[in-house]
Amino acid sequence: MSSNSRPTFTTAQVTLTNQDEWYPLPDIKVGEGCEVVIKSKTGNTGGINVAHDDDDSKNEPFILDNPGDSLSLRIKNTTQIVVSSSVAGQVVEIITEK
């Protein structure tokens, strides 16, 4: 993995309007050798479920329990990831280098 700085990065947010509904991340191309960070917005009041867009993963999601919790993934594109929450109105933040 290169430690060289990238010239640009992309940020996005996904608002989980309905509880217990899976929402895809926006279509963001991730730079070669870069990671995407998925973060539970600081003002959230419920946990965020993070899964690959398949039934097995949705049945056993990774859970960001607390506001401000995050995870990073080395993936090429964000469309394969979905997020949900048992509390409506939660927000997921995304950032990645291009």
- DSSP string of 23-71? EEPP--BPPTT--EEEEE-TT--S-EEEEESSHHHHHS-EEE-STT-EE
| pTM of this structure | 0.90
pLDDT tens-digit readout, 61-82: 999 999 999 999 999 889 999 9
Q: How many CB atoms lie within 10 A of CB 4?
A: 7
Q: Tell me if 90 is assigned to some domain.
A: yes
In this prediction, residue 53 has a pLDDT band, given cuts at 50, 70 and 90, of very high
Domain interval for residue 73: 21-97
3-state SS, residue 14: strand
**pLDDT of 81:** 97
Residue 4 lies in a domain: no
Structural domains counted in the chain: 1
Q: With a cut of 50, say whether residue 1 has pLDDT above it.
A: no
Residue 10, domain member (yes or no): no
* pLDDT score at 5: 65
Within 8 A by CB and 6+ apart from 42, the residues are: 67, 68
pLDDT tens, position by position, 7-36: 789 999 999 999 999 999 999 988 888 899
